[in-house]
Each structure stands twice: as structure tokens, then as C-alpha cells.
Amino acid sequence: MAVEEKERLSEVEMLFRDIEWHAPSREVRPRSLGISFFDIFFAIIGILVALVPIIIIAVAIKLDSKGPIFFTQKRLGQYKKPFWLIKFRTMVTNAEDNGPMWANENDNRVTRVGYILRKARLDELPQLFNILMGNLSFVGPRPIRKYFADLLRQYNSEYDKRFLVKPGLSGWAQIFAPYGSTIEEQLTKVPYDLRYLKGLSVKDYLMIILLTMKTVFTGNGV
């Protein structure tokens, strides 16, 4: 692990040192009804606003490369309940012929249109439907595949605590942590993800959404 990453991890651990890492599930604070309302409200508004861009993106993907428009993948949700995550396809269809691997910032499996979509975070737009179906929130730990969850648990015994809360489209880790193309980078996200065990206020929820929008427009972040 690079020195900068070690320093970043130390700072994060100090920032969240008040977390009870071994807190039983009954001590996890439930989210407010306000957040549940905003999830549905923002998802409906987002789908209506993004309807035309979604159609344009779908056509662009189809013209750019062979394969389906959408990419679905089984992810672990709250309490490890599996669900199908929906995204725009940004990679070639045989991207994982050699087995599961994390995407990276300069991934040669990414298509031309896929590169643009990833850069602008537009590949995540279909997940508005996941939010509407209740699989996701706008804010929370990113849903992960079982393969990678099992792998990361070997390095951090507290990793499964993140599944006590509903996963999200964005969150603290997506704004402040590294991209996540290595085990070391993935582990730096854990303190951010466990922060949700202490609850999420409407204020923080809205702030994360605004910071995410800033990240999208500036091209920084994860």
C-alpha cells in the first residue's frame, strides 16, 4: 500500500474513531422516513428528467459496440440479500472471460462510448430504477458482488457490518476514497461505509448528493 494511502486510511480511522465497530445489529440506527421519501421523490424526478438522455445513450451504445444496452449484475444488498443491479453497458461483452476483476480508471475493456459514460457517471443512470424498486438508496455503501465481499472479508473481519444498512448510489467513500481497483484501495473505503451504522441524517444525505453532483461535474472522485 502506498504511503499516501496509509496516511489517508489513518486519517479516516481517526475521523470515525467514535464508531462502535462491534455494535450488534439492533444498535444500527434506522434511517428516517424523510430519507425514504427523498429516495422515491428524487428517483421519480430523475427518471423523468433523464428520459431523453437515456434514449440517446441507449442508441449510442448500440451503434458503438455489439452487445446489450444494459448491463445487469447480481449484487449484495442490505443483509446480503441479492438483487440485480442495472447499469448501462460500458465494457465489451467478454470483459470477464478470465474471471472477476475490479474496473480501473484506464481499463482497456471499456468501449469508446463507455469511457464517456464512466467519465460523466452516466452509466449509473439506470440505477434510478433500482432506487425506485427499493434495492438502493441514493446514499449508502456501494453494493458489491459476493465474490469481492468474500475476498475483502478475509482482510477485514468487520467488512460485513456494511451490509446492515441499505446500499447506495453514492456515499462518503465514492466522494473521498480512492477509485477502488485494488484490495488496498477497497479497504480504505471500509471506515467510510461503517459510518452509516451510526445513522444518516437528512442533512448529511442531501450534502452527499450535492457533493456527488459536484464530483460528476468536475470529473473528480470515484
In a domain? residue 16: no
User: What integer is the mean pLDDT of 70-83?
Assistant: 96
**pLDDT top residue among 179 and 207:** 207
Question: pLDDT at residue 104 above 80?
Answer: no
pTM over 0.85: no
**Measuring CA to CA, how many Å separate 127 from each of 3, 166, 203?**
35, 14, 23
Give the mean model confidence (pLDDT) for residues 89-104: 78
Tens-digit pLDDT profile for residues 112-137: 999 999 888 899 999 999 999 999 99
CA distance 162 to 153: 11
Residue 157 in domain? yes
85 occurs within a structural domain? yes
Identify any residues that bridge with 71 across adjacent strands, giving them in sequence order.
Answer: 87
- In this predicted structure, the answer to whether residue 61 has a pLDDT above a threshold of 60 is yes
For residue 24, is it within any domain? no
% of the chain surpassing 90 pLDDT:
64
Give the pLDDT confidence score for residue 219 in this predicted structure: 61
pLDDT confidence bin for 99, thresholds 50/70/90:
confident
Residue 139: strand pairing partners: 170
User: Lowest-confidence range among 17-26, 95-104, 106-115?
Assistant: 17-26
Dihedral angle sign, alpha carbons of residues 148, 146, 79, 172: positive
pLDDT of residue 105: 65
For the segment 130-184, what is each residue's pLDDT rounded down to a tens digit? 999 999 999 999 999 999 999 999 999 999 999 999 999 999 998 888 877 889 9
Is residue 1, in this structure, part of any structural domain at all? no
CA distances for 171 relative to 60, 130, 199, 207, 213, angstroms: 29, 16, 13, 10, 11
The closest alpha carbon to 125, from 218, 221, 45, belongs to 45
For residue 160, tell me if it sits in a domain. Answer: yes
- Owning domain of residue 60: 31-218
At residue 156, what are phi and psi to the nearest 5 degrees?
Answer: -145, 110
CA distance readout (Å), 98 to 66, 94, 132, 148, 183: 19, 9, 34, 15, 18
Q: Cα–Cα distance between 154 and 87 in angstroms, integer? A: 28
| Count of structural domains, the chain | 1
What pLDDT sits at residue 220? 60
From CA 62, how far away is CA 56, in angstroms rounded?
10
In sequence order, the 6+-apart residues with CB closer than 8 A to the CB of 147 are 100
For residue 85, which phi and psi values (nearest 5 degrees)? Answer: -85, 135
User: Quick check: is 209 in a domain?
Assistant: yes
Lowest mean pLDDT among 1-5, 26-30, 90-94: 1-5
Q: Is residue 8 part of a domain?
A: no
Q: What is the pLDDT of residues 9-57, one digit of tens each?
A: 444 444 444 444 344 444 567 778 899 999 999 999 999 999 999 999 9
